[in-house]
Amino acid sequence: MTTVPALAAAAPGAPLEPTRIRRRPVGEHDVLIEIAYVGICHSDIHQVREEWGAAAFPMVPGHEIAGVVTEAGPGVTRFAVGDRVGVGCLVDSCRRCAHCRRGEEQFCAEGMTSTYNAVGRDGAPTYGGYSTHIVVDENYVLALPDGLAPAEAAPLLCAGITMYAPLVRWGAGPGRRVAIAGLGGLGHLGVKLARAMGAEVTVLSRGPRKREDALRLGAAHFRATGGPSALDELNGHFDLLVSTASAPLDLDAYLGLLAVGGTLVHVGVPPGPSPLTVAALVDGRRNLAGSFIGGIAETQAMLDFCAAHRIGAEVEVIHAKQVDEAYDRVVAGDVRYRFVIDVSTLGRADR
């Protein structure tokens, strides 16, 4: 394969335009994946718009990839042509450091190789899933279990694992009160996952519009957070609060919602500082934590859990031409609940 169609931003904040990119030849341990669907994560927008600092351009975003293996290198053992697969936020790591050996490749001591906006271990820029094909080492490819439709499975590769990991780590389960702040791509999957784990789930959303959806997705309770005292009656209530907010929260107020010893885990990555008064932690011996995606083994465990519990994303499938408009709608909070690009609308690859 020489070049394949893709959507790229030429410069920070530039529109996503059709282009062609090179994919490396399929190596000994690589698989070639024909991409069917790719989710639009808010992190794509943060990076295309350089909200997290300097980024690499041209940029082909996309780290919620679902597709099918169309070629496998001679050394590939885990996948075969025709297998349904996924690729998430990382496509390589050093494989030797303590974190890699522990299956936490996202914390690789040499730095994980991000699916896009990074330099691969071969020295070439990495390009993500807004593209018809990708070549990935089989060790960084996930098996999509039967029963997960590809469009609904794609967002699991980032949004799903980003919620699953903290819910498991901080013990979402029967008898635990779990709040999910922000009902977007991550948040709606967080509700489904926490509910499936047996927790009592409350959605905290900026306004009343998403109430019915929250309850339908599995929340037991819903609170609109607007207004100065909207949350007062929930003070001291939650064992775990996972915030997906893409803009800074009033952390003092949200920490106040935790029971003694409770934990607020931030998975949203707002650009810039999020101010905090330390007394909000001291009072009630509360914990403030962050969580970053998940390793390959845990991502596979999450996919298997989702298949067993019939959990997929609620998606709005769009044409490649609609990506810029979709970005604006995500920023405006107008997505129910993940945009997924139908990659067949991008055109065909040369062979």
User: Interface with ligand NAP by CB under 6 A: which residues?
Assistant: 41-43, 46, 158-159, 162, 182-187, 205-206, 210, 244-247, 249, 267-269, 291-293, 330, 333, 335
Q: Torsions phi, psi of 110, nearest 5?
A: -90, 0
165 binds Zn ion (CB under 5 A): no
Q: Which does 247 bind (CB under 5 to 8 A by kind): Zn ion, ligand NAP, none?
A: ligand NAP
156 binds Zn ion (CB under 5 A): no
In order, the DSSP letters of 50-97 are TTTS---SSB-----EEEEEEEE-TT--S--TT-EEEE-SEEE--SSS
Residue 196: C-alpha distances to residues 9, 68, 167, 190 (Å): 38, 28, 11, 10
User: What span, in angstroms and rounded, lies between the C-alpha atoms of 162 and 188?
Assistant: 12
Is the CB of residue 148 less than 8 Å from the CB of residue 302? no
104-112, 113-121, 206-214, 340-348 -> range binding Zn ion (CB under 5 A) = 104-112
Residue number of the CB closest to ligand NAP reads 184
- Tracing tokens 């919602």 back to the chain, one arrives at 257
341 binds Zn ion (CB under 5 A): no
Q: Find the binder of Zn ion among 43, 114, 117, 132 (CB under 5 A).
A: 43
Shortest Cβ distance from residue 264 to ligand NAP (Å)?
13
Shortest Cβ distance from residue 298 to Zn ion (Å)?
15
Residues 92-123 as b or e (16 or more Cβ within 10 Å = b): bbbeeeebbeeebbbbbeeebbbbbbbeeeee
Which of 132, 205 has the CB closer to ligand NAP? 205
Which of 135, 158 has the CB closer to ligand NAP? 158
Residues 6+ apart with CB under 8 A from 225: 181, 204, 205, 206, 231
163 binds Zn ion (CB under 5 A): no
281 binds Zn ion (CB under 5 A): no
Is the CB of residue 274 less than 8 Å from the CB of residue 298? no
Is the CB of residue 297 less than 8 Å from the CB of residue 164? no
Q: Which does 94 bind (CB under 5 to 8 A by kind): Zn ion, ligand NAP, none?
A: Zn ion
Q: What does the block give as tokens for 163?
A: 């919620």
- CB count within 10 Å of CB 313 equals 25
41 binds Zn ion (CB under 5 A): yes
Q: Find the binder of Zn ion among 56, 68, 97, 289 (CB under 5 A).
A: 97
Q: Which does 199 bind (CB under 5 to 8 A by kind): Zn ion, ligand NAP, none?
A: none
152-160, 206-214, 243-251, 323-331 -> range binding Zn ion (CB under 5 A) = 152-160
Q: What does the block give as tokens for 68?
A: 């099918």
- Tracing tokens 């929260």 back to the chain, one arrives at 249
- Chain centroid offset of residue 101 CA: 23
Q: Which does 97 bind (CB under 5 to 8 A by kind): ligand NAP, Zn ion, none?
A: Zn ion
Shortest Cβ distance from residue 249 to ligand NAP (Å)?
6
Task: Give the closest residue to 193 by CA, choosing from 349, 293, 309.
Answer: 309
User: What span, in angstroms and rounded, lies between the C-alpha atoms of 313 and 339?
Assistant: 10
144 binds Zn ion (CB under 5 A): no
Q: Which does 108 bind (CB under 5 to 8 A by kind): ligand NAP, Zn ion, none?
A: Zn ion
Which of 127, 164 has the CB closer to ligand NAP? 164
Shortest Cβ distance from residue 346 to ligand NAP (Å)?
21
Q: Find the binder of Zn ion among 108, 136, 144, 156 (CB under 5 A).
A: 108
Q: How many of the chain's residues bind Zn ion (CB under 5 A)?
A: 8
Is the CB of residue 280 less than 8 Å from the CB of residue 286? yes
Which of 36, 186 has the CB closer to ligand NAP? 186
Which of 9, 245 has the CB closer to ligand NAP? 245
What does the binding site for Zn ion look like in residue numbers (CB under 5 A)? Answer: 41, 43, 93-94, 97, 100, 108, 158
